């Protein structure tokens, strides 16, 4: 028995792009990328596992990749958490995620899919505001 995993080759991460490009950001491109991120996160929240959604819990620029056509791909699903209803709040057993991108409720271990929306907001701010 052999098992093969085929993954799409991605050129670079959003984190790398943010570090390299600090001026002259194309607002239309930022909007397009953000729409792709929102669509991807919406998909995983709604129906990614047997009709049940998952909470990503560690959404950050280093986990957002670009394929060779420049489309957004979300990677590293190692710490996802399954949920049944979109509005459910769960108590989780450990503090997971990258602190800089965590919603406040993640620190107290009781949260819902909204923690991913919070992280998206932070990522959008990084896209729109060049850091010096």
Summarize the confidence of residues 24-36 as an average pLDDT: 88
**Pairing status of strand 10-13 against strand 64-67:** antiparallel
Pairwise pLDDT comparison (30 vs 10), residue with the higher score? 30
36 phi and psi angles, rounded to 5 deg: -65, -40
Q: State how far the Cα of 94 lies from the Cα of 106, in Å rounded to an integer.
A: 9
**Per-residue pLDDT tens over the stretch 63-109:** 899 988 888 888 876 555 555 444 555 555 555 667 777 776 777 66
User: What is the pLDDT at residue 86?
Assistant: 47
Active site residue 50: no
User: What is the pLDDT at residue 112?
Assistant: 75
Kindly report whether the global pTM for this prediction surpasses the value 0.85.
Answer: no
Domain ranges for the chain, please list them.
10-128
- Across the chain, mean pLDDT equals 76
Among residues 58, 67, 87, 116, the one annotated as catalytic is 58
Q: Which residues pair with 111 in a beta bridge?
A: 90
Q: Tell me which residue of 117, 118, 49 sits closest to 80, measured CA to CA.
A: 49
CB 68 within 8 A of CB 11: yes
Tell me the fold of 10-128: Transferase(Phosphotransferase); domain 1 (1.10.510)
Q: Please work out, in degrees rounded to the nearest 5, the angle formed at the alpha carbon of residue 37 by the alpha carbons of 32 and 42.
A: 125
């Amino acid at each position: 028995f052999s098992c093969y995993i085929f993954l799409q080759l991605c050129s670079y991460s959003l984190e790398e792009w943010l570090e390299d490009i600090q001026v002259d950001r194309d607002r239309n491109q930022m909007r397009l990328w953000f729409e792709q991120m929102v669509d991807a996160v919406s998909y995983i929240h709604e129906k990614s596992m047997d009709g049940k959604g998952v909470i990503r819990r560690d959404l950050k620029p280093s986990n957002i990749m670009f394929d060779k056509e420049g489309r957004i791909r979300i990677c590293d699903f190692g710490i996802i958490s399954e949920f049944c209803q979109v509005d459910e709040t769960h108590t989780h057993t450990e503090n997971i995620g990258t602190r800089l991108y965590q919603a406040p409720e993640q620190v107290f271990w009781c949260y819902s899919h909204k923690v991913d929306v919070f992280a998206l907001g932070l990522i959008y701010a990084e896209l729109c505001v060049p850091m010096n």
